[in-house]
């Protein structure tokens, strides 16, 4: 289904005139594939700057004999670099590369900024798609390029950073699976050693990471640094020696429907990051903290961090906020963290609303007394074995009651019918559909009519 959708994408939303052009393009593409040597770069009426004369698919098979022309699986190139300009002068904007099943041990660096044309264009990205059974055992680095789509790449047992994207625009990374990534400490000069990150985006503008799975990395699962307009969604990041995901000095970053699990820090937001939004996520079982910030001291974000409907459980500290300015946390569930549920340190204007903070050590703590103008409203504080509040003086609408989670052992923090958190939230907040008349405390609204609850 996914592949079909991708192929059809170029026809979506086109008017009749464009459809006729498309037919001509499809015909030209068919023609050049049968032709083999191709006349696709000879120009012609379809060869304007914005629409390529045709779109080709180039095949790569690491076990192929030398001398393939790349135009079919039976005549595949042996490496990715063979498939692309300048090794393949026939390569054109928007062309796709299919990686056939096999073991890829080549260390790939694709400098797309050196292409004579764009990597892809709106509506027709350059797709690098791995078929089932294609596995990379070496790092891949992609530099520059615009409209690039990476599908179903699998990295396994890689030393160094598995996938690095630098300076690209409009990148989609979908369905990737990255496991067992190790620090590269092989250099005699320690400063040249490479951390074992699953993925790193550096100076990237416009990227989506979706449906990815990253597990067991020495350093971090994903590092997003000096980048902008990045969306991370429906992905799981597990067992990172450092952080499952790091957002460092980046802006307009949205993380949703994703989990950050069993790492040192689940989600770390740091530096001068601005306009970061975390929605419907879960941070669980992280040794130091589930979600931690370490903003540069004095940094004034234009759009402060917002965390909404996120579940932070069974970590060391749940939320650890440091140097934040005007961070907002809405409807969190913070439970069973072995240290404090929420720590605020040198924060200004921290607000938290509709919260469940239960069964932690301390509940909400400003240990050093350095937080300024915090405001905490509508919350359930219960079962915290230390103090519910440490140096937190401005709060209101607190209840102290067991929230009656469905099954915390199985990490199901939905509410059961008798939960005192149901309809106990801020009456001025519109509840999710089915949660009327009043929003609940915590991340998962109880839906009365169905007797069922959504995942979040
Ligand atoms: Ca394409
Ligand atoms: Ca409700």
pLDDT at 430: 96
Give 157 Cα–ligand 1 centroid separation in angstroms.
Answer: 29
C-beta of residue 446 within 8 angstroms of C-beta of residue 418: no
> How far, in whole angstroms, is CA 315 from its chain's centroid?
21
How far is 326 from 301, CA to CA, in rounded Å?
9
| Residues comprising the chain, all counted | 456
Give 319 Cα–ligand 2 centroid separation in angstroms.
Answer: 24
Task: Report the candidate in 281, 280, 275 with the shortest Cα–Cα distance to residue 261.
Answer: 281
Give 435 Cα–ligand 2 centroid separation in angstroms.
Answer: 4
Q: For 200-216, what is each residue's pLDDT tens digit?
A: 999 999 999 999 999 99
Ligand nearest to the CA of 435: 2
First to last CA, the chain: 27
pLDDT at 54: 77
Ligand nearest to the CA of 96: 1
Ligand nearest to the CA of 453: 2
- Is 450 in a helix, a strand, or coil? coil
Q: Which two tokens stand for residue 371?
A: 């937080």
Give 236 Cα–ligand 1 centroid separation in angstroms.
Answer: 27
**H or E element that contains 104:** strand 102-104
Ligand nearest to the CA of 91: 1
pTM of the predicted model, to two decimals?
A: 0.87
Q: For 244-261, what is each residue's pLDDT tens digit?
A: 999 999 999 999 999 999
Ligand nearest to the CA of 417: 2
Give 231 Cα–ligand 1 centroid separation in angstroms.
Answer: 21
Give 12 Cα–ligand 1 centroid separation in angstroms.
Answer: 14
Give 153 Cα–ligand 1 centroid separation in angstroms.
Answer: 16
Neighbours of ion ligand 1 (CB under 5 A): 94, 96, 124, 127
Beta bridge partners, 348, equal 325, 372
Count other C-beta atoms under 10 Å from residue 33's C-beta: 15
Q: For the chain, what are the domain ranges?
A: 1-36
C-beta of residue 266 within 8 angstroms of C-beta of residue 235: no
Give 97 Cα–ligand 1 centroid separation in angstroms.
Answer: 9
Give 95 Cα–ligand 1 centroid separation in angstroms.
Answer: 5
Neighbours of ion ligand 2 (CB under 5 A): 423, 431, 435, 440
pLDDT at 393: 83
Give 214 Cα–ligand 1 centroid separation in angstroms.
Answer: 26
CA atoms within 13 A on the CB side of 444: 25
Give 386 Cα–ligand 2 centroid separation in angstroms.
Answer: 29
Task: Give DSSP secondary structure letters for 341-367.
Answer: SEEEES-BS-EEEEEEEESSSSSEE-T
Ligand nearest to the CA of 425: 2
DSSP letter at 440?
P
**H or E element that contains 215:** strand 213-217
pLDDT at 37: 34
pLDDT at 455: 53
pLDDT at 451: 56
Compute φ and ψ for 187, nearest 5 degrees: -80, 145
pLDDT at 16: 38
Ligand nearest to the CA of 440: 2
Ligand nearest to the CA of 436: 2
Ligand nearest to the CA of 422: 2
Count other C-beta atoms under 10 Å from residue 102's C-beta: 18
| Low-confidence spans in the chain with pLDDT less than 50 | 1-52
Q: For 391-410, what is each residue's pLDDT tens digit?
A: 998 899 999 999 999 999 99
């Amino acid at each position: 289904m996914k592949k079909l959708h991708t192929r059809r994408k170029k026809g979506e939303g086109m008017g009749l005139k464009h459809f006729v052009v498309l037919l001509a393009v499809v015909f030209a593409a068919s023609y050049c594939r049968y032709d083999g040597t191709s006349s696709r770069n000879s120009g012609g009426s379809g060869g304007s700057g914005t629409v390529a004369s045709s779109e080709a698919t180039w095949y790569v098979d690491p076990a192929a004999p030398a001398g393939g022309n790349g135009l079919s699986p039976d005549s595949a190139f042996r490496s990715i670099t063979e498939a692309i300009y300048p090794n393949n002068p026939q390569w054109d904007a928007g062309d796709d590369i299919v990686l056939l099943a096999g073991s890829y041990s080549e260390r790939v660096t694709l400098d797309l900024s050196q292409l004579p044309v764009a990597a892809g264009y709106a509506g027709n990205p350059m797709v690098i798609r791995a078929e089932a059974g294609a596995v990379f055992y070496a790092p891949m680095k992609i530099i520059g390029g615009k409209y690039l789509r990476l599908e179903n790449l699998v990295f396994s047992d890689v030393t160094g950073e598995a996938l690095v994207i630098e300076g690209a625009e409009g990148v989609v990374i979908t369905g990737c699976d990255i496991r067992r990534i190790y620090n590269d400490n092989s250099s005699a000069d320690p400063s040249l050693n490479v951390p074992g990150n699953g993925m790193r985006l550096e100076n990237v503008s416009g990227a989506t990471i979706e449906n990815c799975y990253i597990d067991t990395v020495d350093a971090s699962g994903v590092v997003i640094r000096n980048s902008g307009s990045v969306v991370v969604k429906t992905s799981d990041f597990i067992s990172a020696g450092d952080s499952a995901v790091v957002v460092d000095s980046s802006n307009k970053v949205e993380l949703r429907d994703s989990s950050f699990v069993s790492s040192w820090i689940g989600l770390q937001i740091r530096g001068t990051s601005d306009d970061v939004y975390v929605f419907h996520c879960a941070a669980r079982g992280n040794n130091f903290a589930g979600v931690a910030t370490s903003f540069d001291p004095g940094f004034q974000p234009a759009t402060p961090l917002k965390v909404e409907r996120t579940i932070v459980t069974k970590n060391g500290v749940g939320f650890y906020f440091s140097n934040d300015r005007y961070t907002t946390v809405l409807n969190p569930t913070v439970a069973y963290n072995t240290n404090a549920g929420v720590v605020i340190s040198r924060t200004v204007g921290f607000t938290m609303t509709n919260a469940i903070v239960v069964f932690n050590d301390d509940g909400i703590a400003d240990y050093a007394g350095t937080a300024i103008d915090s405001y905490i409203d509508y919350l359930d504080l219960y079962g915290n074995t230390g103090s519910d509040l440490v140096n937190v003086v401005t709060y209101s609408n607190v209840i102290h009651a067991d929230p009656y989670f469905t099954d915390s052992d199985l990490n199901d923090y939905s509410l059961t019918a008798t939960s005192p958190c149901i309809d106990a939230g801020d009456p001025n907040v519109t509840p999710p559909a089915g949660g009327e008349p009043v929003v609940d405390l915590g991340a998962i609204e109880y839906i009365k009519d169905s007797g069922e609850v959504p995942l979040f």
